[in-house]
Structure 1
Amino acid sequence: MKIIKPFFPAAALILWAGASYAQSSVTLYGIIDTAMIYGNNEGTGQPGVGRPGIEMNSGGISGSRFGFRGTEDLGGGLAAIFDLEDGFSSANGKLSNTNDIFGRQAYVGLRSTQYGTVTLGRRYAYMSEWLSPLSAEGIGWGGNLADHPFDNDDMIRHQSVNNSIRFDSVNYNGLQAGGMYGFSNEAGQFSNNRVISLGTRYSNGPVSLAAAFEQVDRSASPADLNTSGAESSDDSVINGGREQIWGAGGKYSFGASSVGFVWTHSSFNNVTSAYGEGGTFPIGADNNLRFDNFEINGRYFVTHALSLAASYTLTDGHFDSGTTNLSPKWHEAVAQADYSFSKRTDFYLESLYQVVTGGGGMALFNASMFNVPPSANNRQLLLVMGMRHRF
């Protein structure tokens, strides 16, 4: 509580200031998402020994969050904008994002109706903002639970970019492009923990397309660790040297249905550790990891309130340590039924099944899905029941 008490007077001041000027607006927004999750084979700490478990979790589909978003009309088609957003657990009330007050986003900028938008601060990159809506995971209907292994393609908004400057063009007949640079903030080490991200998207009638690129340059040496750079160490899932992610996808809507396909490729050089749901796995030095994710998904609205959806993802992985070469493959199927009581409140049932082959017995490559203990072996089944409210 000591962390957030100073926040509330500041929030009240922001709201008062927004109400004082007709040309300004400030919006309080957020999501509360709480789910009960059954896992059939959760690890017990003993190799190969698993037990079923039931637990309550926050953020089954959408990470629970709250934020303040504001605009000020400056005239001539120009506006000042800001967004301050933090995550929390709806299961226990604790702040997430390592107790940062605005750990998800914190930026200010200018928006022009003629040219586009420039922002400064902590923001999401294009993989999670522009590509993931075409996927089941992330902003897609399956959300966090449908993430690809280790969130290797940064599609579920697990990672935000610090010290960033970002430009998004205006929408030209459905086409939009953007670029983002996150500074290292390290004197003499301009490329030590910097982020470069690019994105483009197109939407016209039933067709939606998107492509994105993301690169994190950092040093794998503990002696050169830069904690003030563009990537927070608490956000990073796979640690080490350079990280590159490419992705492209499309979705076609027809009537009450839609189908989508997404491909992403990610590579991690000089990997030192990887974070799974079972904790951090130390790997050692001079290791390389690569992932190719191939996902097909579909959704059908039975009524305006009830939707049924399913997806299948094949993740083709490669691990090279110099002495060990493995090619683990993840097969993951997701099925969901969602019922909307209103535009803001819905109830969902979701089932997920994952099988991993070629993991060589490494615990790192056991079956593992978002926010639950990993399996004791290469298979895991989750049954989820949750409720989500937006405000």
Structure 2
Amino acid sequence: MKKTLILASVLSAFAISAQAQSSVTLYGSLDAGILYANNAGGHSLWQQGSGAMSYNYFGLRGAEDLGGGLKALFTLESGFDLNSGRYHNGDTGFNRQSYVGLQSDKYGTLTLGRQYDSVVDYLSPLSATGSGFGNNLAGHPFDNDNLSESFSIKNSVKYASANYAGLKFGGLYGFSNDANGFSNGRAWSVGASYGNGPLNVAAAYLQTNNSGGLSSASSAASADQNISARLQRTYGVGANYTYGPANVGFVWTHSQIDGLSSLASGGMSLPGLNGLNLHLDNYEINGAYHLSPALSFVGSYTFTDGTMTGNGSGNNSPKWHTVMVGTDYLLSKRTDVYLTGVYQHASGSLGENPNGSGIANVAAINTLSPSSTNNQIAATVGLRHRF
């Protein structure tokens, strides 16, 4: 009897030790509300929105302590529509992230699988649409720089450094897995950030080849991919400064999109752009003020300056002005209610019709169907719970 008790005690100790050395966490975000748009696809729209502020997703992440400052880790994450329960990107299960890797306290983290690029990791947190505010409606037209996490990278190998006195850096390479060509459909990115007290700065670069194809490393994630093109290069810098209850930031990105095959917003493609080249510069100013620990006000302004060339269409200069204002109130650490309004004005042209007439530019607030005019207004009130 005594030996049995000793054996049971030893086995219990081993079980407790194993549990202490490894862990699995369920996490996610649920966001739903009522959304109004004055013009979406040519008509006014009232709808129950899903993910207007931040995407709906759930995931599992886990880690096992291997000793000596080394851990094994994994993440499995799925995006979905809260109102219908449907997975984003068709019926793909883990359509946002799915990776496994090793993490060293001294040398950083190496992971393999489906992951977000360096623009998302380093630059997006300084933008109004990124993890700083988490406002999808404030994204740049067509999410042309992926600051709003429209897609992740399949078949990717990723390195993220440890934190060296505020300095972090990393890079990603996505294999196309295309038997017809090593570089056909591949993607790669690099980025870095530095945070010292109230100041944070970041820079990143992303390149994708033949995005939107079946053999492309770049693929739709939280929403249908908005841009499919022969070659896309995006790079940018950003800074954010916090002073007491307020912070203000600036982000500049340049997106060079060559050989367009589709350009979409809210799942609706714009016609007549096949084969054209679209180059965009996004200049964003954003800010937030915390009136109390629970109540905050946010806002941003983005000027997007574009040039459309190719197919003998000459040079066209589409432009967009996007203004976002909003307020957020925390009911608890994990649950909040919000009210947000967005206005966008478009000008210029996106190209030329076969008869030589211009293709008028239209407003296209991120995640919504494009307007049939050069103006679009949207507002949403909703509830968000994160776990």
Cα deviations by residue, 1:41-81 (Å, 9 ceiling, x for unpaired): 2333xxxxxx3221111111110000000000000000000
The aligned counterpart of 1:47 is none
Query: Which of 365, 376, 380 pairs up with 1:380?
Result: 376
Q: Is the 8 A contact 2:318 2:349 kept in 1?
A: yes
Query: Which of 352, 358, 361 pairs up with 1:365?
Result: 361
Distance across 2 between alignment mates of 1:124 and 1:30: 16
1:232 equivalent to 2:222? Answer no
Percent identity (aligned)? 46
Q: Is the 8 A contact 1:271 1:283 kept in 2?
A: no
The aligned counterpart of 2:107 is 115
Amino acid at match of 1:341: L
Amino acid at match of 2:331: F
Query: Which of 244, 247, 250 pairs up with 2:239?
Result: 250
In structure 2, relative to structure 1, the CA distance for the partners of 1:229 and 1:272 (3 Å cut) is closer
Task: Report the CA distance between 1:282 and its aligned residue.
Answer: 4.6
Pick which of 137-146 and 227-236 moved more. Answer: 227-236
In structure 2, relative to structure 1, the CA distance for the partners of 1:280 and 1:370 (3 Å cut) is same
Amino acid at match of 1:369: I
| Root mean square deviation of aligned Cα | 2.1
In structure 2, relative to structure 1, the CA distance for the partners of 1:112 and 1:353 (3 Å cut) is same
1:348 equivalent to 2:338? Answer yes
In structure 2, relative to structure 1, the CA distance for the partners of 1:286 and 1:52 (3 Å cut) is closer
1:137 equivalent to 2:129? Answer yes
The aligned counterpart of 2:302 is 313
In structure 2, relative to structure 1, the CA distance for the partners of 1:383 and 1:284 (3 Å cut) is closer
Rg (Cα) greater in structure: 2
- Structure 1 alignment gaps of length 5 or more: 1-16, 45-50, 220-224
In structure 2, relative to structure 1, the CA distance for the partners of 1:196 and 1:278 (3 Å cut) is closer
Secondary structure of 1:232 counterpart: strand
In structure 2, relative to structure 1, the CA distance for the partners of 1:229 and 1:40 (3 Å cut) is closer
Distance across 2 between alignment mates of 1:231 and 1:135: 22
Aligned length: 364
Task: Report the CA distance between 1:271 and its aligned residue.
Answer: 1.1
Task: Report the CA distance between 1:138 and its aligned residue.
Answer: 2.5
TM-score (norm 2): 0.89
Distance across 1 between alignment mates of 2:153 and 2:311: 31
1:262 equivalent to 2:266? Answer no
The aligned counterpart of 2:64 is 72
Task: Report the CA distance between 1:285 and its aligned residue.
Answer: 4.7
Distance across 2 between alignment mates of 1:254 and 1:214: 31
In structure 2, relative to structure 1, the CA distance for the partners of 1:167 and 1:52 (3 Å cut) is same
Secondary structure of 1:83 counterpart: strand
TM-score (norm 1): 0.88
Q: Is the 8 A contact 2:285 2:300 kept in 1?
A: yes
1:241 equivalent to 2:239? Answer no
